[in-house]
Amino acid sequence: MTSMKTSCCIAGGGPAGMMLGFLLARAGVAVVLLEKHKDFLRDFRGDTVHPSTLEMMQELGLLEEFLQIPHSTLREMSLQIGDEQLVIGHFEHLPVHCKFIAMMPQWDFLDFLADHARRYSTFDLRMSSEATDLVFDDDRVAGVRATTPDGEIEIHAISPSVATAAIRPCVSAPGSVLKTSARRWT
Ligand SMILES: Cc1cc2nc3c(=O)[nH]c(=O)nc-3n(C[C@H](O)[C@H](O)[C@H](O)COP(=O)(O)OP(=O)(O)OC[C@H]3O[C@@H](n4cnc5c(N)ncnc54)[C@H](O)[C@@H]3O)c2cc1C
**Structural domain boundaries, residue 100:** 48-104
Has residue 168 been placed in a domain?
Answer: yes
Ligand 1 atom having least distance to the Cα of 110? 49
Ligand 1 atom having least distance to the Cα of 183? 19
SS3 string, the chain, reads CEEEEEEEEEECCCHHHHHHHHHHHHCCCCEEEECCCCCCCCCCCCCEECHHHHHHHHHCCCHHHHCCCCCEEECEEEEEECCEEEEEEECCCCCCCCCCEEECCHHHHHHHHHHHHCCCCCEEEECCCEEEEEEEECCEEEEEEEEECCEEEEEEEEEEEECCCCCHHHCCCCCCCEECCCCCCC
What is the model's pTM? 0.86
Ligand 1 atom having least distance to the Cα of 50? 11
Q: State in Å: Cα 15 to ligand 1 middle.
A: 7
Mean pLDDT (the chain) is 87
Please write the tens of the pLDDT for every residue from 19-58.
999 999 999 999 999 999 999 987 777 899 999 999 999 9
Is the separation of the CB atoms in 23 and 172 below 8 Å? no
Has residue 2 been placed in a domain?
Answer: no
Same domain, 123 and 172: yes
What is the rounded CA–CA span in Å between residue 58 and residue 55? 5
Same domain, 57 and 32: no
106 contact partners, CB below 8 Å, separation of at least 6: 15, 40, 42, 45, 46, 47, 185
Has residue 159 been placed in a domain?
Answer: yes
What is the rounded CA–CA span in Å between residue 186 and residue 167? 24
Q: State in Å: Cα 105 to ligand 1 middle.
A: 12
> Which of 42, 71, 101, 106 has most ligand 1 atoms within 8 Å of CB, for mutation?
106
Q: The domain spanning residue 120 has which CATH number?
A: 3.50.50.60
Is the separation of the CB atoms in 130 and 162 below 8 Å? no
What is the band of 172 on the pLDDT scale with cuts at 50, 70, 90? very low
Same domain, 31 and 119: yes
Q: State in Å: Cα 81 to ligand 1 middle.
A: 34
Same domain, 35 and 123: yes
Same domain, 84 and 12: no
Same domain, 34 and 115: yes
Please write the tens of the pLDDT for every residue from 76-124.
999 999 999 999 989 999 999 999 999 999 999 999 999 999 999 999 9
Same domain, 56 and 96: yes
Has residue 3 been placed in a domain?
Answer: no
Same domain, 81 and 151: no
Please work out whether the CB of residue 131 comes within 6 Å of at least one atom of ligand 1.
Answer: yes
Please work out whether the CB of residue 103 comes within 6 Å of at least one atom of ligand 1.
Answer: no
Give the pLDDT score at 46.
82
Same domain, 180 and 136: yes
> Which of 47, 168, 184 has most ligand 1 atoms within 8 Å of CB, for mutation?
184
Ligand 1 atom having least distance to the Cα of 47? 8
Has residue 1 been placed in a domain?
Answer: no
Same domain, 124 and 98: no
Number of domains in the chain: 2
